[in-house]
Structures are given as structure tokens and as C-alpha cells.
Structure 1
Amino acid sequence: MSYRALYRVWRPQRFEDLVGQEHVTKTLKNALDEGHFSHAYLFSGSRGTGKTSAAKIMAKAVNCLRGPAPEPCNECETCRKITDGALMDVVEIDAASNRGVDEIRDLRDKVKYAPSEGRYKVYIVDEVHMLTTEAFNALLKTLEEPPAHVIFILATTEPHKLPSTILSRCQRFAFRRIAMGAMLAHLRSICDSQGVKADDAALAAIAQKADGGMRDALSLLDQVLAFSGDQVDEGSVLAVTGSVSRQALAEIMESILRQDASGALDSMDRLLTEGLEAERMVQDLIHLSRDLLLLLAAPELDEVANRISSYDSWTHLSEESTVDNLGWMLDTLIEAQQKMKWASQPRILLEMTIVRLCKLPENEASKPQPTGNGENEAIALLQKRVDQLEKRLAERNQEPVPPSPRIAKEVDSGAFPSAESRSPGKRKEQRGGGASRVPAFLKQSSAEHLKQAKQHWPELLAKVKERKITVHAWLIDGEPVAASPDGVLVAFKNAIHRETTEKEANKSLIQQILGELFGSPQELVTVMRAEWEQYRASEEVSATREQPSASVSASSSAKEQEDEDPVRRAVDLFGKDLIEITD
């Protein structure tokens, strides 16, 4: 007889043979004992946990000649045929290759026929999540109200992909990953029955690699037996799986905990030279860090005892570290594992990770850690900003009423600083050419230069908008109120607009464009509109704007009235070509 794989030889034939699924087997056995079994079942869980085996055992239990019974006899002709896959009334369907609506329609047409040999027709649909939406819709009615002689057993590893209409029509059983202790006991019993000598460390390595799947564990054991014969040791398992030995892992981890980067890199280089992959080393370090963390945090766990109890050096390693440090190391290794999937040089990334782990400061755990969602930091930041805004608003509300002409003269001469100049937020601005520059600037200003500045103002705004639209958004709030041969005085209504315009980069851009328009270097001086009105009301400002003779004064007044004419101002700003005057 040809050789059969271990997982086929040791496939469960009774409910009591299923390992680690007592919650499922007890429920099914009670239902069979009372005769209250359903017409549709859904077995879900990860690979290798016994879903298909449980479905076949269920099919034998309901069709057994001595049943229906909680356990099949496995001796009658019906049980033997189901075990061999020769009974026509038990149909196994692979939904991955029969996923279309036509296959389900064919199944729906055949379920109405009575069983030919057994008591029930049992349809076992494996990987049922692979069916198309149309196939599920075709199955709905039959699944909900099948003939009395039909039982559906659906098996899947991804139950979340099934429509809720299918889930609601089935009794659902979730198969769990097999625990480490149960898997080790089952592997030990198989080795004993096969006459194989196996070390506890070797079986633990196989169980860890299987990750809760008994079929994976038996396949790996079969492969190790082919490699080493009847003697299974940890070295054989590591050679087959390509993993790092516990001794080598312990040496690397000990060097890391002692912050010995040289020793850790030497051990890593030796393992990589022997053919170990960098990705596999990171994965093994993650498992070791996790085991040490569990050993420190919960030493009473059975899983920890099964994995570490046979290796004393790991217990010694846990005593040299702390829970916080191991948690930090796990985060670092997991991050490296994610990056390694896309790294073209995984060895370099592994070396960087080991060096980083070796440089873990002793007070790493004592550093303040961020909260789960950063709410405390966000609240503190918002509170600080609110306090700053309230302080600024309070300072603005304390601005004095417009001063009398005599006080305005003292303000212009600098003998009595204004409230604006006393504000801490304005001192830096004034040093750059704020309100204190206005009196000296007005002595050099003239109406002719102001007219020229107003004529160029629309063009200035357009050029500023072309070069930097954000500066244009702030500058458009200002208006030229005075001009001299070397500069322009602009009054702003909003303080924020003025402050932003006074920033060095923004101001430099505006002065550069002014120089291009006027053909000579120009200086930009800013002032608030309220301050400008104070200067105009003061006698000194009036004197700088009026000529000594009455005739000149009259002509200036006429000129000002002319400038106040809205039509004239529109022509000056936009040009005659763009203005159309209608009565």
C-alpha cells in the first residue's frame, strides 16, 4: 500500500478525536442524542482545526445503521463507505471550483431526490465563501426549506464574506485554534504510537510553527521525519523550517539586553552566513520578545510554561529586562518587519534594527508616553491658545480714545508713546518702521507724490497678486494716504492685515514692486486708519499738508475736494478707458 501522509492517517473519525473543539463536539453530540439536529450548519475557523473532519463525522452519525447516534460506530457498511468517500448520499463540493450559479442550480435540482443508501443526503460545501453573489441567491430558498432528507454543512475560513441571509439560515459553530498544550499532547501520542523519539523542544517548535492548526503540525512532523528518520530533535525542526535555534536566539537577545551591539551583530552575521533569511530572524526575535514579555507579565499561563519551561536560559533573560523595555522592543521589531516587506536590502534594515535595540536607554520606560488618543495634549494646547487670544483682546479693548491736538503733537514728537506703541505685540513692529515713522515721513510727503502713488496702486495690487496671491489678500485692505519721493504711507483698517504686511518677506516683495513701478527704491510705511485720522486732526499734520500762503491753501483745499470726488477718484484708480460715466 502506498504511503499516506500523517494528517490523513490521523484524521479524526469520532467527535472525541477532535482536538481542542470540545465546545463544538459537545453541542453536536447532545443534538444527535436528542434527535434535534438542524437542516443547515456553518463550520467556521482557521485552517487545520477540524471543520471538514467534523462535517464527515456528522454525516456518519446521522446515517449510521446504529443511529442516529452521538458517535458513529465506524464499523457498519455506511460508516465505512463515508470514511472511504464512496457513499453517494454524502456529497462534498469544493466551492472554490464550483462557485457559479449553474452549479448551485444543479445542486438545487438534485436535492429533491431521496437518498439511495443512507438515511439523509448530506451536502458538505467547503470554502463556501468563494461562491458568487448569484450562487448564494440561488441557494437561499433551498437552504432555508430543504426537503426533510437533506442536511447542508457549510465550511469556511472567512465567514465574514458570507451574506447575512445565509448566516441567518444556519447554526454556526466557530472552531478555535488548537491550544499549545492540547497540540503538544496530541503530537506526543502520535509519536509514541509511531515509535518515534521526539524531544519536547522539537515538538514545541513544531507546535509554534503550526500556529494553532493541527494539519500544519502533522505535515511539518511528517517532513521532519523524512529528514531525520525516527529521531526528532530541535535541530532537525529548525533545519526544516529555517528558524533560529533557541541557543542562538538567546545569545542575540542577551547581547541586546546588555547593549552589546558588536556581539549581537557578530551572532547575526554568523546566522545569515549559514543561510538564514533576515525576515525569519526578525520573526523569531518577535516571538522570543513576546514569550519573555508573557513570562514577566503572566508567568502562570500554561502557554508560557509549555514554551519556556524546558529552556532555563530564557528565564534568565527575562530577569535582565523589564515589561516596558520588552514592549518597546516588540514595537521596534514589528515596525522593522513591516518595512522589510518592501526593503531592497533587508540585511541592512536588520542591522539598523539590532543597533537601535542595543542603544535602548535605561530610562526608556520612564519617558512620558503619549496617551491613547492624545486628548490631554490637544486640550492643553487649545487652552494655551485661548489664553493668548483672551490676553490680546483685553489689550485691544484698553486702547485710549483719540487724543487732543496737543497730545497728538507729543505723540508725534515721541515724548508721549501711544497705547499702540506700548503694546508688547507692537514693539517689534515699530522698530521695523511703524507708527513712529509717520511724522518724519509726512514732512517729506506731497500731494503730487500721493496722486502718483494712487495711480500706480491698482497696478501694484495686480503685480503683487501675480507673484504671491496671499500677500495681495492682506495688502488689499490698505490704502495709500501719503507719499514721498522715497516711499508710500499705507493705512490699514485691520490690524492683522497690517501685521502680516509688515513681515519681512511680504514687505520686501511689495517694496521691490514699488521700485519697479516708480523707477527708484521705495519704502513701505504702514499705519492704522485710526492713527492716521488722529494725525490729520492734529495741528502738526495739518501744517505739513498745508502751504504757508492763503492762495496755496485754497488751491490745496480745492485739490482735496477734487480728490474726494468719487468719479475723479475712479478715473485716477482705473483709468479713463475703463470708466463709463452715465447720468
Structure 2
Amino acid sequence: MSYQVLARKYRPQKFSDVVGQDHITTTLKNAIKSGRLHHAYMFTGARGIGKTTVARILAKALNCFSPVDAEPCGECQNCREITSGTLMDVQEIDGASNNSVDAVREISERVRYMPSSAKYKIYIVDEVHMLSTSAFNALLKTLEEPPAHVIFMFATTESHKIPATILSRCQRYDFRRIPSTLIAKELSRIAGNEGVKVDDSALRIIAHEATGSLRDAESLFDQAIAFSGDEITSEVIGRMLGTLDRKRLYGFLSAVMNRDSASALSLLEDAYRFGIDLVRFAVEILELIRHMLVISECKGDSKGIDLPPDEVAMLVKLVSGRASEEMLGMFNVWYRIAEDVSRSAFPKMLLEIGVMRMVRASDVKNIGEILARIDDIVSPGARRQVKDSAIPVQAPSTSKKSPEQAAALKFEPASSSSSPSDGGGGRWLEFMRWVSIQRPQIASILQNGVFVGIDGSLVKLSFNNMLYADMLTEEDRKKQLDDLMEKFFKNKMSVIVGVISDDSSGPDAARRKRDMMREALGNDIVKKTADILNARIHDVKVEGEDH
């Protein structure tokens, strides 16, 4: 007898043999026991996870002469003929090659006749999404009111391509990807039956490569047996698949995170020399960084990570003491690297440069903490709370705010009578924020001006556009502004407005630019802010100017 591949040899013959689809097999068994059978079933899901297999088992269970607990006996004539594919009353049709209207019409003609030897006449249509639109339309009437002795079973990997009119006439079952642990367990059982010696790490690699498909895992295992004989190790699987040993992957990741470029580049060179697929290598590193980000965000919880416990423990150790922002930054950088590598004719060079970028990247700081420190420098007297990256809104907003939001943004006026005679910059900024809550319309005008300074009780503002200066000097609006300043500063204040000259070139403009740069470089607030951001002053620009 010719050799039978493992995927066919160990194909489940009963509901209890199906791996990882208990939510479906239990429902179908209960339906058989209670007699609540539907006339059409739609099985959807990824490849190799049991859709067609379950359809065959269901066909056997419905036509079995002596079922046991809704399971087919596997011994009667109907069970044997369905297994071998020779029972006339159970037709398995390939939707890809029988997708025409004529093929569907032929089925519609056949369903009128009673089954020859079975209880039900069953049509299993695989890859049903390949049927043409006309074929689906021809099937509608038959599918809606089929004879009592006919049951349709459809299997598809792309349910979104099936018309809603078809889906609504079927009972739908969504198959899940099979967890790696269950795939490894099933492969271990097969290995025992086949007399093959295989270590657990090799099984885990195969299960991981199968991405939830048991059929793919069985095919890879078949290939591994052919490649190495009766003894399979993780090193053998790595050579066969062109993947790097898992320990080396974690070693590479550890070297990058510890800023050890020499070790990281050495491991990358080893991977290249061993003939490892560098695109696959980049994707595997990206997956590990994703897992680390999940562990960091979920405070060590690894429920969303389909890895063995020892690998999860290694990831937890790598993440320990590191902020989520660092993991997110690593993921963003490596994602771009992996994307570029997949399209490049020089993947090794791109990976090497990527490693150096990752190693040289500075530690990521929490943006909320940075902004809080800067705000404390700019307005140390302001009593407020900073949560994460939220800071008081400087730009005026006309949207309606809840009392809670307004309270979070509010800056209370000074508690004692004083005028901002210390240059006025910090207190004027506080006033602007306060006005944006109290009088957004006035704040929107002030935002277009440039604060010049304070002379006694006079606040000097300059505008590029005369329109805003005129608006601010209107009697009613000026009175409102004077009242607001008196309320905030606890002192009578007035505003003097002027218009900035349009002459932005020539010696005067250059001198003004130099003076502003000198003033900015000598300002304590600017110095401290630049120190926090690890930055340097590149240019000085007057707020409101377009150049």
C-alpha cells in the first residue's frame, strides 16, 4: 500500500477526535441528540482547522446505523463508505471548479430525489465563496426550502465574500485557530504512534510555524521526519525551516535592549551565515517586542501570548524595570525596519543599520512628566494637577465644557493685590489660560497678539493685523478686558495695543532677530526647558508671525 501522509492518516473520524473546536462539536452533538437539525450549515475559519473534517463527521453521524452518544460508530456500511468517499448520498463538491450556474442547477435537480441508502442526502460544498454571483442566486430558492431529506454543508475561508442572502439561510459556525499548546500535544501523540523521537522544543517550533493550523503542523512534521529520520531536535527544525534557534533570538533581543551592539551584530552575522531567512528573522523579533509590550502594559499578565511558560518567563525578565513607552518606541522602530527588509534586495545591511539605530536610541521619557516639569518652570505658582500628558489648554475653545473639565483647566486669580511687574511673561500666560475659560471670545483675539511687556499698570500688546487691534479697542470689549484683568491681577490694569511693522527685512529686522535670540538664550525658563528636553535653541520666532 502506498504511503499516506500524516494529515490524512490522522484525520479525525469522530467529534471527540477534533482538536480545539469544542464549542462547535458540542453544539452539533447536542443538536443531533435533540433532533434540532438545520437544513444548511456554514463552517467558516482559517485553513486546516477542521471545517471539512467536521462536515464529514456530521454527515456520518446523521447517516450512521448505530450512533453512540451522537458519535458515528465508524464500523457500519454508511460510515465506511462516507470515509472512503463512495457513498452516493453524500456528495463532496469543490466550489472552485463547480462554480457555474449549470452546476448549481444540476444540484437543484438532484435534491428532489430521495436518498438511495442513507437517511439524508448531504451536499458538502468546499470553498463555497468561489461560486459566481449567478450560481449563488440560483441556489437561493433551493437553500431556503429544501426537501426534508436534504442537508447542505458549506465550508469557506472567506465568509465575507458570501452574499448576505446565503448567510441568512444558514446556521453559521466560526472555527477558531488552534492554540500552539494543543497542536504540540497532538503532534506528540502522532510521534508516539509513528515511533518518532522528538523533543518538546521542536514540537513548539512546528506548532508556532503552523499559526493555528493543525493540517499545516502535520505537514511540517511529516517533512521533519523525512528530513531527519526518527529523531527530531529543535536544531534540525531550525535548519529545515530556515529559522534561528529561539535562545539566539532572545539573546539578540537582550543584546539590543542592553545597548550591546557588538553582541547583537555578531548574532545577526551568525544568522546570515547559517542561511536564516532574514525577513522571517525580522518578523520574529517584531513578534517578541509585541509580546514584551503586552506584558509591560498588562503588568506581567501573559494571557494574550501564545508561548510556552519558559519563553514567557524570559520576556518578563527582559521587560522588568522598563517603561511601556520604551517597548512602544522599540516596536515602532523595528516595525519600520521589518517592513523595509521585506522589500529590500539588501536585507542584511538594513538590519545592521536598524540594530545600530535601536542601540543608539536614547531612553524614552514619559511625555506627561516632561510637560509637567516644563509647566512647573513656566508657572511655578499655578495650582493645578497634571495627569499623564494633559496640560491646560492655551488655545481658546468655543466648545462647551463640563464643570469637571473647566475645573481641571481653571487657574485661579492671584490671592493678593499685585501687578505682574517681574516682566509679566509667566503671569500673562496664566491670565491667557484663565481668560480662555472665562471669556473664550476675548481670548481668541488676544491669541493673535504678541505680548510686549508691562509698564506699571499698562499691558503692551502688538498685532500683525490691525483688525484684531481695532476689535480689542472697541469700548464694550475693552471694558470687559479691563474687568477681567482687575479680577485676575487684583489691580486696575489697561491694555495698550500697537501694530507690528510689516518690514521683516533689512538691518532693523536682523538686529531684532539677534536681540530675540540673545534674550532667549539668556532666559532661565528657556534654558531649563531645553535641558529637560535635551535640546538646543535653533530659531526664535515671534508668535503670530508667519515667517
Bigger mean CA offset, 222-231 vs 46-55 = 222-231
Per the alignment, do residues 258 and 214 of structure 1 end up closer, same or farther by CA in structure 2, a change over 3 Å counting? same
Residue segments in structure 1 that go unaligned for 5+ positions in a row: 402-421, 434-502, 506-583
Contact 1:181 1:303 in 2 (8 A): no
Alpha-carbon separation, structure 2, partners of 1:400 and 1:218: 83
Alpha-carbon separation, structure 2, partners of 1:430 and 1:57: 83
Among 437, 441, 444, which residue is 1:386 paired with? 444
Q: How far is 1:193 from its partner?
A: 2.2
Tell me the amino acid that sits aligned with residue 169 of structure 1: R
Tell me the amino acid that sits aligned with residue 353 of structure 2: M
Tell me the amino acid that sits aligned with residue 361 of structure 1: S
Contact 2:108 2:142 in 1 (8 A): yes
Alpha-carbon separation, structure 2, partners of 1:14 and 1:142: 29
Contact 1:181 1:302 in 2 (8 A): no
TM-score by length of 1: 0.65
2:470 match: 396
TM-score by length of 2: 0.69
Among 425, 436, 439, which residue is 2:499 paired with? 425
1:205 match: 205
1:29 match: 29
Contact 1:224 1:232 in 2 (8 A): yes
- Identity, in percent, stands at 39
Q: How far is 1:58 from its partner?
A: 0.5
Alpha-carbon separation, structure 1, partners of 2:300 and 2:68: 46
Secondary structure of the 2:181 match is: helix
2:56 match: 56
Residue segments in structure 2 that go unaligned for 5+ positions in a row: 372-388, 398-435, 437-442, 450-462, 476-495, 508-544
Alpha-carbon separation, structure 2, partners of 1:281 and 1:382: 50
Q: Deviations over 1:91-110 (max 9, x none)?
A: 11111111111111111111
Contact 2:51 2:155 in 1 (8 A): yes
Q: How far is 1:194 from its partner?
A: 2.1
Per the alignment, do residues 321 and 5 of structure 1 end up closer, same or farther by CA in structure 2, a change over 3 Å counting? farther
- Answering whether residue 251 of structure 2 is matched by residue 177 of structure 1, we say no
Alpha-carbon separation, structure 1, partners of 2:279 and 2:131: 35
Contact 1:257 1:321 in 2 (8 A): no
Bigger mean CA offset, 243-252 vs 70-79 = 243-252
Alpha-carbon separation, structure 1, partners of 2:328 and 2:334: 10
Tell me the amino acid that sits aligned with residue 275 of structure 2: G
- 1:151-190 to 2 correspondence within 5 Å? 151-190=151-190
Tell me the amino acid that sits aligned with residue 21 of structure 1: Q
2:134 match: 134
Contact 2:329 2:364 in 1 (8 A): no
Contact 2:183 2:207 in 1 (8 A): yes
Q: Deviations over 1:460-518 (max 9, x none)?
A: xxxxxxxxxxxxxxxxxxxxxxxxxxxxxxxxxxxxxxxxxxx999xxxxxxxxxxxxx
Secondary structure of the 1:427 match is: coil
1:319 match: 320
2:226 match: 226
Contact 1:201 1:310 in 2 (8 A): no
Point out the structure with the larger helix share.
1
Q: How far is 1:280 from its partner?
A: 1.4
Tell me the amino acid that sits aligned with residue 343 of structure 1: S
Q: How far is 1:314 from its partner?
A: 4.9
Contact 1:33 1:68 in 2 (8 A): no
1:249 match: 249
Q: Deviations over 1:397-443 (max 9, x none)?
A: 46799xxxxxxxxxxxxxxxxxxxx954333549989xxxxxxxxxx
1:339 match: 340
Alpha-carbon separation, structure 2, partners of 1:21 and 1:328: 37
- 1:246-285 to 2 correspondence within 5 Å? 246-285=246-285
Tell me the amino acid that sits aligned with residue 117 of structure 2: E
Alpha-carbon separation, structure 1, partners of 2:125 and 2:253: 47
Q: How far is 1:338 from its partner?
A: 2.4
Contact 1:35 1:68 in 2 (8 A): no
Alpha-carbon separation, structure 2, partners of 1:400 and 1:72: 91
Contact 1:299 1:305 in 2 (8 A): no
Instruction: Quote the RMSD (CA, aligned, Å).
Output: 3.2
| Greater C-alpha radius of gyration | 1
Secondary structure of the 1:244 match is: coil
Alpha-carbon separation, structure 2, partners of 1:167 and 1:86: 29
Alpha-carbon separation, structure 2, partners of 1:257 and 1:146: 63
- Answering whether residue 277 of structure 2 is matched by residue 287 of structure 1, we say no
Per the alignment, do residues 287 and 504 of structure 1 end up closer, same or farther by CA in structure 2, a change over 3 Å counting? closer
Q: How far is 1:7 from its partner?
A: 0.9
2:330 match: 329
- 1:30-109 to 2 correspondence within 5 Å? 30-67=30-67, 70-109=70-109
Q: Deviations over 1:507-557 (max 9, x none)?
A: xxxxxxxxxxxxxxxxxxxxxxxxxxxxxxxxxxxxxxxxxxxxxxxxxxx
2:512 match: none
Q: How far is 1:219 from its partner?
A: 0.8
Alpha-carbon separation, structure 2, partners of 1:68 and 1:141: 35
Tell me the amino acid that sits aligned with residue 65 of structure 2: L
1:548 match: none
Q: How far is 1:33 from its partner?
A: 0.5
